[in-house]
Amino acid sequence: MLNDYFKDKYGKKILKLSINAGFSCPNRENGLNGCLFCSEAGSGEFGGNVKKSITEQIEEQIKFLSYKNKSDSYIAYFQSFTNTYDSIDNLKRKYFEALNHEKVIGLAIATRPDCINNSIINLLEEINEKYELWVELGFQTSNENTAKLIRRGYINEVFKNTVNKLNNSKIKTVAHLIFGLPYESEKDWLNSINYLANKNLWGIKFHSLYIQKNSDLYDFYLKNKFKIIDKEEYISIVSKALGLIPKEYVVHRVTGDADKTELFLPKWSADKLSVICSIQKKLKEDSILQGSNYIE
Ligand code: SF4
């Protein structure tokens, strides 16, 4: 888990600060409506206030988090929209504004694999030399038909090539996977897990699909009423997934974080603690450890 990684490497707890740096997304421009599940917040429901500077967002979030958690080091998580989708000068300015904050030790950058060119890799390499850094890619599924249906906007080959380039530059990559996408079955979920298990990633994030009222997925669901993944199915597939990925992968998340005020379905996903406890129980019952069923 990510907390263990931080403890091993830095000997302490390190928290993430969600930043909205005012980027856009190519999948939401020129008449494109973005990924089917994407909300108005660009999948950054808990990002900072875009009207404030990055430094102000950092200060605000440190203050907010310090009520519950004590930490003196943070990762600035560029979360909302596509955080490599801008000119190199603007990217550099925004990344370094965060890195210049005395309590920020590194960056987590959420983006799309089709928005990382060689100049961006060079900039990431420069950051990676001195700071903690990882890049998060929204993969969601290895089923190309589902990828088209959810308007992901790129094919698996693009993901594979970008991960290879980042690996060649020794930049850590995290992939996001969603269980419960429309019309997918356990077979698709297992295919996606096995696809990612052999991509030499650094980390992985698991989410259940949730429908927010402020996304196109809401209208799609009202029209098509596809089956929503239930809690037992989700607990079961995440437990299997943990067994099937390499033990070295850093697991960042085992469940998603919907905006409760906009969450339509599934209601069970709002109770994160219950989902996490159920996964831990299932792992114990089935004697699964991370990587125990991984096959190279
Ligand atoms: S790539 Fe991210 S920001 Fe862009 S439409 Fe998809 S989920 Fe939204």
Looking at residue 46, its pLDDT comes to 66
Looking at ligand 1, which residue's alpha carbon is closest to its atom 3? 81
Can you tell me the distance from the alpha carbon of 150 to that of 257, in angstroms, rounded to the nearest whole number?
19
Task: Give yes or no for residue 79 CB within 6 A of ligand 1.
Answer: no
Looking at residue 66, its pLDDT comes to 86
Task: Give yes or no for residue 28 CB within 6 A of ligand 1.
Answer: yes
pLDDT tens digit at each of 296 positions of the chain: 999 999 999 999 999 999 999 999 999 999 999 999 998 766 656 677 899 999 999 999 999 988 877 789 999 999 999 999 999 999 999 999 999 999 999 999 999 999 999 999 999 999 999 999 999 999 999 999 999 999 999 999 999 999 999 999 999 999 999 999 999 999 999 999 999 999 999 999 999 999 999 899 999 999 999 999 999 999 999 999 999 999 999 999 999 877 889 999 999 999 999 999 999 999 999 999 999 999 98
Q: Which of 24, 27, 135 to mutate to test the pocket of ligand 1 (most atoms within 8 A of CB)?
A: 27
pTM for the model:
0.96
Q: Is 263 exposed, middle or buried (0-12, 13-18, 19+ CB in 10 A)?
A: middle
Looking at residue 234, its pLDDT comes to 98
Give the count of beta carbons closer than 10 Å to the beta carbon of residue 265.
18
Can you tell me the distance from the alpha carbon of 75 to that of 106, in angstroms, rounded to the nearest whole number?
5
- Of 136, 154, 139, the C-alpha closest to 202 is 136
Looking at ligand 1, which residue's alpha carbon is closest to its atom 2? 81
Looking at residue 42, its pLDDT comes to 60
Looking at ligand 1, which residue's alpha carbon is closest to its atom 6? 35
102 Cβ neighbours under 8 A, 6+ residues apart:
none
Angle at 137 between CA 174 and CA 7, to 5 degrees: 25
Looking at residue 269, its pLDDT comes to 94
DSSP 121-142: HHHHHHHHHHSEEEEEEEEE-S
Pairing of strands 211-212, 172-179: unpaired
DSSP annotation of 180 reads -
Distance set, CA 179 to CA 77, 139, 143, 167 (Å): 23, 12, 12, 26
Pairing of strands 104-111, 132-140: parallel
Angle at 237 between CA 172 and CA 143, to 5 degrees: 65
- Of 144, 145, 138, the C-alpha closest to 163 is 138
Task: Give yes or no for residue 113 CB within 6 A of ligand 1.
Answer: no
Q: Which of 20, 37, 112, 116 to mutate to test the pocket of ligand 1 (most atoms within 8 A of CB)?
A: 112
Task: Give yes or no for residue 142 CB within 6 A of ligand 1.
Answer: no
Tell me the two tokens of residue 117. Answer: 């060119």
Upstream peptide bond of 246 is cis (omega within 30 degrees of 0): no
Looking at ligand 1, which residue's alpha carbon is closest to its atom 7? 38
Can you tell me the distance from the alpha carbon of 230 to that of 30, in angstroms, rounded to the nearest whole number?
36
Place of tokens 């096959």: 295
- Of 135, 229, 127, 133, the C-alpha closest to 186 is 229
For the chain, the straight-line distance linking the first and the last C-alpha, in angstroms and rounded, comes to 21
Looking at residue 259, its pLDDT comes to 82
